[in-house]
Structure 1
């Protein structure tokens, strides 16, 4: 049991789970637009997520030479290295325009992590900005890049899906911010820090209304998608409603980050 627990923790800490969430959303984009499976795009997003998230989480620790890296961190670094090779391999299989946009997302990720300007903190520590940068990166990787790589026109349905995808990620991050409220630096000015936990939950629940009803405005309206989205609204409402600082770390790091995977599976199954 202890061995399984260690493996499970490593699976989460090494960002493999969140990478599967990104992969699921890319596959969902293919499904929604009736596109065939684009392996280079899906795996580029998967491996890129591992590299990006581990870079964000462990960059400062890796650069600090005050203590030796534990065995676990060395394994995470090894996985990140091979994922970096995977990113490079699939990057050159993408369309040129997708490559250019992918570089743009990379720059945004680096801006989020590294201080580009003298005497300024990185974007991760800019007051109130973190949630928007992360949500935009997810929308860019899981929706914009797959559509552009398939040479699809960016019509009304695409922009509606962008709004829905942004709301989904925004709400998932709100749950993280509620859980981490006690540990977050007050200068970050996260949403719960600015308006309180109760108002944050109300905001998240209100955002689920456009998330659901925007479906009716799509040109390619599919009734079954309403059922899937209703299940998603109920699930997200429960995650938001029951979020508090006493929740286990798995509440967000596993269950909340599983929401995109569940959404994709529901779309495929129904």
Structure 2
């Protein structure tokens, strides 16, 4: 069991799990817009997420503790380097429009991580901003990027997909914020820090309900499967919200919650 735990911890700490979630969300966007046999964007999102998340998590540690980097972190740095090479490879497979979109969202990730303004903190530490930057970045990578690459023009359906993805990510981040409410710096002003855990849960339920209601406004939605699928996803996230509290283990959100997009993507693969 000790070995299994170490493997699981490395899988989570190296951002492979969240990267697989990104791959799943890109694949689901392509599925609902009938984009087939295009894995370049999904693989770019996978490797880009590994690089981006590891950069966000370990940049400060690597710079401040240059002589005391643990073995696991060295492996993660090596994995991130390999992922960076793969990310560049798939980046050059994209169209110019997609490249520009990818650069824009990478810039947002840098803003989230690095202090660009003198005597200012990075955007990650701006009061109440983190959750919006995370949501917009995930919408960009998992909705906008694959649709730009597929040359699907902006429409009501594209807007609704972007809105739904933002609401989904926002709701999932609320679970993370509830679990970390005692550990997060009070200056971050996360949602549960500002309005309390119970109101945060109610906000999450409302956002998920809004996501489901928006499903009825699609112009090309002629069958029951998309709504039923999203009902299952929202129901699962709502359950995680209901049982979320500050005493949950790190696996509650970092593994089980982030498994939700992967699980339902696998369901789509099976029933397709």
Pairwise TM-score range, normalised by the shorter structure? over 0.9
Alignment length (residue pairs): 270
Under a length normalisation based on structure 2, what TM-score does the superposition of the two structures give? 0.97
Determine the structure 2 residue equivalent to 1:186: 186
Checking the alignment, whether the CA contact within 8 Å between 1:27 and 1:37 is kept in structure 2 is no
1:67: Cα distance to partner? 4.4
Checking the alignment, whether the CA contact within 8 Å between 2:32 and 2:226 is kept in structure 1 is no
How far apart, in 1, do the equivalents of 2:128 and 2:63 lie? 26
How far apart, in 2, do the equivalents of 1:19 and 1:103 lie? 18
Is residue 110 of structure 2 the alignment partner of residue 110 of structure 1? Answer: yes
Q: Deviations over 1:163-188 (max 9, x none)?
A: 11000000000000000000000100
CA RMSD of aligned residues (A): 1.0
Is residue 231 of structure 2 the alignment partner of residue 230 of structure 1? Answer: yes
Give SS of 2:258's match.
helix
Structure 1: runs of 5+ lacking an equivalent: none
1:244: Cα distance to partner? 0.2
Determine the structure 2 residue equivalent to 1:171: 171
How far apart, in 2, do the equivalents of 1:14 and 1:182 lie? 24
Checking the alignment, whether the CA contact within 8 Å between 2:156 and 2:218 is kept in structure 1 is yes
How far apart, in 2, do the equivalents of 1:186 and 1:249 lie? 19
Q: Deviations over 1:67-94 (max 9, x none)?
A: 4111000000000000000011111110
1:39: Cα distance to partner? 1.8
Checking the alignment, whether the CA contact within 8 Å between 1:27 and 1:264 is kept in structure 2 is yes
How far apart, in 1, do the equivalents of 2:2 and 2:106 lie? 37
Checking the alignment, whether the CA contact within 8 Å between 1:113 and 1:122 is kept in structure 2 is yes
Correspondence 1:59-138 to 2 at 5 A: 59-65=59-65, 67-138=67-138
Is residue 245 of structure 2 the alignment partner of residue 244 of structure 1? Answer: yes
Structure 2: runs of 5+ lacking an equivalent: none
Checking the alignment, whether the CA contact within 8 Å between 1:47 and 1:87 is kept in structure 2 is yes
How far apart, in 2, do the equivalents of 1:233 and 1:85 lie? 35
How far apart, in 1, do the equivalents of 2:169 and 2:46 lie? 17
Is residue 161 of structure 2 the alignment partner of residue 154 of structure 1? Answer: no
How far apart, in 1, do the equivalents of 2:119 and 2:22 lie? 33
How far apart, in 1, do the equivalents of 2:104 and 2:231 lie? 34
1:117: Cα distance to partner? 0.2
Point out the more displaced range, 126-135 or 226-235.
Answer: 226-235
Checking the alignment, whether the CA contact within 8 Å between 1:228 and 1:266 is kept in structure 2 is no
1:217: Cα distance to partner? 0.9
Is residue 263 of structure 2 the alignment partner of residue 262 of structure 1? Answer: yes
How far apart, in 1, do the equivalents of 2:63 and 2:24 lie? 32
How far apart, in 2, do the equivalents of 1:227 and 1:66 lie? 50
How far apart, in 1, do the equivalents of 2:51 and 2:61 lie? 15
| Structure 1 runs of 4+ with >6 Å offset | none
How far apart, in 1, do the equivalents of 2:58 and 2:126 lie? 19
